[in-house]
Structure 1
């Protein structure tokens, strides 16, 4: 019996991933779903949002690799076998995310939407810049990507604080933890960046009540998962002006439906879930490393805890 890896993703190039993986795993047969051959040969699955029932035929599966840092779409399934599931932990993904968050924060901090509007109206509109240190930025979620973003914002001189479910310690960062600390945290954020994993506990965590805790005219950035935010409540806050601007990379339903009011809002920037993506040539080595660890009986790195959801 040959040993095979199966690849599935509608969002990624199978050819790029197979080409990147092959030098690290020259003895492993590479198959791209739906052409899986004999499913009993498949010992490893590298996937992004496979269809329900995908894993059922692979009774000899030993490892599932999720093509990204967010695993909410994987751990909520009913067909996922009881075996190691790992997520990607690529420094290039962290840098890509940190740069997108920095761009988004700078765009709001330097009043770029106001200048874009003035340009469309052929109107000279001077807005005096504020010092970064006078602008309070909060990051919800201090995992690998959130921590990288917080440190980048701090490096640029912003008055940064972070919040997480459990206490974290980051150099020079005011780190808060726990639900009791969340109201005060939100009340201090002129610019809020959502970077939490999507779990049962974080679904609609940012609802109308918590949006109301933000200062009047706050800016809102979501680069995590759409369902963490109650989208109708966010739309209402944007329409009322309580949230003055938003940068949204993720949504409750993707692609964003054509009839969403968000499309027509001049104070909203919409991007199509691309703040950070996996790069095959840099991430392939860690996928291969975990396959080698499974083969040698060692514990895998970056293992997901399905109970926690990340």
Structure 2
């Protein structure tokens, strides 16, 4: 019997219990799944960082901690965590991100707000450029960034991608390093942020990056709030240099009611919905990793502690 501890808030247990049991059965895994175990009896931990578990020291036989979320910034620095840590990469999360990013990119590209918000009897003649004439830059070429890039390329957008390490991906102009970042943002008619939240990525979009962007560019951030210097972005929006920012993530969530983003006419706030882990598909990823652990195979989606993701 494999003992699996579900360490997350009660509402997550209510959502995940049945999909997890189904996924374990599909893998022919004999699992005892509970929200409480003696720590020394636990083989795997299914984990959400906003739960009550913060000390991993007592879990002496635990083979892996399996994160329910893509982001691991709230757990990767935990000094008691000696077990392998896997982040969540699943089809549902990726597809949800692709749909959200594609939808908002097309919204800005086509100028939909002029028609959706402008129902005042004025006949507005606006013909957008074709996708081939609207340059998109994606900062972050991990699983989510790459999936979004492929979808946008399929619609005809020229896509530049920037990553901290060098990559060579067919159909994408790949850049890296500080000089590459400056070049990447300088051609971004639409800038999409899908970097992880680390000390190295905080304020990637600062006043210099914003100044380097083309006049009238759009910013879409479904990645992490600290990627953007908020004060610098507000100044760029006020001046009109940045035409609009669609923001799904923030340094403080929920976004405080008095934050200037709420009332700014050039900002769209969405409540961290760009991509949510889907219990059915995420449970299959967790079950597959437990199967791998029991079979002595490498775990999927292991976190690089040094890089922070």
TM-score by length of 2: 0.92
Could you tell me how far apart the structure 2 residues matched to 1:123 and 1:4 are?
65
1:218 Cα deviation after fit:
0.9
Unaligned runs of 5+ in 2: none
Q: Give the drift of 1:77.
A: 2.6
* Post-superposition offset of 1:116: 3.1
Q: 1:202 to 1:12 in 2, by over 3 A?
A: farther
Give the aligned partner of residue 85 of structure 2: 85
SS in 2 for 1:92: helix
Taking the aligned partners of 1:85 and 1:277, their CA distance within structure 2 comes to 20
- Which shifted more, 184-193 or 18-27? 18-27
Q: Secondary structure at the match of 1:73?
A: coil
What is the match of residue 111 of structure 1? 111
- Structure 2 residue matching 1:6: 3-state secondary structure: strand
CA contact under 8 A between 1:52 and 1:77: conserved in structure 2?
Answer: no
Who is 1:177 aligned against? 176
Deviations for 1:69-123, whole angstroms, at most 9, x for unmatched residues?
22212213333x211111122123222111111101001001122223312x453
Q: Is the contact made by 1:3 and 1:41 (CA closer than 8 Å) also made in structure 2?
A: no
- Which residue number in structure 2 is paired with residue 305 of structure 1? 304
Displacement of 1:59 in angstroms is: 3.3
SS of the equivalent of 1:125 reads coil
1:23 counterpart SS class: helix
> Is 1:66–2:67 an aligned residue pair?
yes
Please show how residues 123-142 of structure 1 align to structure 2 within 5 Å.
123-142=122-141
Q: Hey, what does 1:76 align to over in structure 2?
A: 77
RMSD value, Cα:
1.9
Distance 1:85 1:231, change over 3 A: same
Q: Is the 8 A contact 2:73 2:197 kept in 1?
A: yes
Deviation at 1:12, TM superposition (A): 6.0
Of 181-190 and 17-26, deviating more is 17-26
Aligned mates of 1:274, 1:117 — CA distance in 2: 22
Give, in angstroms, the shift of residue 266 of structure 1: 2.3
Q: Distance in 1 between matches of 2:38 and 2:267?
A: 49
1:112-148 per-residue CA deviation (whole Å, 9 max, x = no partner) reads 22223312x4533221221111111111111111000
Deviation string, structure 1 residues 12-67 (Cα, Å, up to 9, x no partner): 632332211213435222123xxx14222222111122346343443332210111
The alpha carbon displacement at 1:254 in A equals: 0.8
- Cα distance in 1, alignment partners of residues 205 and 48 from structure 2: 26
- Residues 11 and 48 of structure 1 are in contact (CA less than 8 Å); yes or no, is this contact kept in structure 2? no
Q: Distance in 2 between matches of 1:67 and 1:211?
A: 33
* Superposition TM-score, scaled by structure 1 size: 0.92
Describe the SS at the equivalent of 1:210.
helix
Q: Which moved more, 1:189-198 or 1:91-100?
A: 91-100
1:198 is displaced (CA, Å) by 1.2
Contact 1:113 1:267 in 2 (8 A): no
Return 139-148 or 54-63, whichever deviates more: 54-63
Aligned length, in residue pairs: 304
CA distance in 2, matches of 1:3, 1:24: 14
